[in-house]
Structure 1
């Protein structure tokens, strides 16, 4: 495998999983503020699959109704919801299947126990690469999902175009 690419050079799309936002907490939390500042300083927008948004969209009791932390991030422009991938494309469906298989093997779970949001990360990665992104920086707190997306893209002709960044490590680096 080649050296990792610089996630701040060229056309890099940043995809994030729910775990990153859950780990940051509410808008008043310093981790949330640090993530927002990180996005602004690096002029990047985190792209999330619809399934990730659905996971995060439920307003916690202490949130202002209709204004969850993820909605605040979307309104501020540093997070956006990806367009729905074309699941009829062979690469999209193969990559999703490969991620599901990878996670099941590495976590000793059956494939039907794998969260659909985990495979959606891979589908969005393929979509963004096909739309012109040179590379993907995938930020998730789920190591199996991150490694699975990297392996699946590599197995489907998209090697060296995705980098997995552990969300907990990113939070530690920016706070």
Structure 2
């Protein structure tokens, strides 16, 4: 039996072990971790996928902001990581997590969504693209084409230059 649960219902150590298995213990050096440094995940948009009592996947979302040169800060929600146990990857679990999070975001996100991800996958299946992000910057290395965004819950995307960071 597969269940989607609030991530807050899951033991934090189990989540960390899944993230290590999916992304490696060196994951903390990635730019995405710099962006959300010091922030707590958004409970209403962060979920766990549990199958037969075992944690098989998670999705987390984070409060971030686009900060323009003039000081204007536009709230955004950073999606990720989307993690699935390595032996179950490519089995549709990530899609289930993304679909569930997007449904929750349609009513509960306090900003548009952004992520660092594969544009072919997240564009095709979930409507993310890099159209608005060409002038955005991140606090570390990244591939511009992988900086994706999507409007949601009536929140538009900032299109001008700006740095993405925690809010």
**Normalised TM-score (structure 2):** 0.30
**Normalised TM-score (structure 1):** 0.29
More strand by share: 2
Q: State the structure with bigger RCO (CA 8 A, min sep 6), 1 or 2.
A: 1
More helix by share: 1
